[in-house]
Amino acid sequence: MKLIEAANYEEMSQKAAEIIIAQVKEKPDAVLGLATGSTMLGTYKQLVEDHRQNGTSYRNVRTVNLDEYIGLSPDHPNSYRYYMNQHLFSHIDIPLSQTYLPNGVSDDVEAECQRYEQLIENLGGIDLQLLGIGRNGHIGFNEPGTSFSTPTHVVELAPSTRQANARFFPSLEDVPHQAITMGIATILKSRHILLLAAGTAKAPIMAKLFEGTVTIDMPASVLHTHPNVTVIADQEALSLVP
């Protein structure tokens, strides 16, 4: 696991964007695994800025997102499809037909999970997977206790995760109880994984990550078993790492 330290959120976002841009330049039809949440906003802003100023093209890039809420349609302002369109896809030159997220309103969510897993395989696998980290150590929506061998699956969201995400919804009751997420096995098949963390809220879990113990009680700890992981974290997120 390679650690890149950043002074602050801005610098973390800049460094993350540089790695993504380098990946797209090296392989114009790269498959990018994307994430949502607050951590990624600065990175997407940098990508949009770079696209505008330097013309980096995403015309042949394919993207697969980690997860989507069950029950929210693509045009729901809290769906992850909506987030991706709003913060990235509608500002760069990627055809929307090359951007994929799990379908949260599928009639058959189990079949949807299998379809999504197969889709990633058919695209040739993920070249670069972007990850945030939950305060409980989740990656994607793989909550503590999730087996490391799970493919894309349906999850019940932990109360703490619903609570953490409630800030985006009118009230806690409006936060969906379930989501579809790439599994840990899906994430581990990525050729390069880039985990981002910023802010003091992430300091305790980052300290735990760097303790190095691999356990299903802390999903992100599985990243120690992957040969090509880069972590970019700001000083606040690293403040409790000895």
Q: Which is it for strands 67-69 and 178-181: parallel, antiparallel or unpaired? A: antiparallel
Closest distance of CB 41 from ligand F6R, Å: 8
Number of residues that bind ligand F6R (CB under 6 A): 14
d(CA 49, CA 13): 12
The closest alpha carbon to 20, from 42, 37, 1, belongs to: 42
Residues 6+ apart with CB under 8 A from 151: 113, 117, 182, 183, 185, 186
Residue 23 found at the interface with ligand F6R (CB under 6 A): no
Closest distance of CB 220 from ligand F6R, Å: 9
d(CA 124, CA 144): 29
Annotate each residue in 48-87 with x if it binds ligand F6R (CB under 6 A) or - if it does not, as one string: ------------------xx--------------------
What radius of gyration, in Å, describes the C-alpha atoms of the chain? 17
Binding part of the chain for ligand F6R, among 10-18, 130-138, 151-159, 233-241 by CB under 6 A, reads: 130-138
d(CA 135, CA 160): 9
Residue 37 found at the interface with ligand F6R (CB under 6 A): yes
Binding part of the chain for ligand F6R, among 11-19, 120-128, 138-146, 229-237 by CB under 6 A, reads: 138-146
d(CA 205, CA 161): 14
Binding part of the chain for ligand F6R, among 3-11, 31-39, 212-220, 231-239 by CB under 6 A, reads: 31-39
Closest distance of CB 192 from ligand F6R, Å: 17
d(CA 140, CA 132): 8
Interface ranges with ligand F6R (CB under 6 A): 35-39, 66-67, 132-134, 138-141
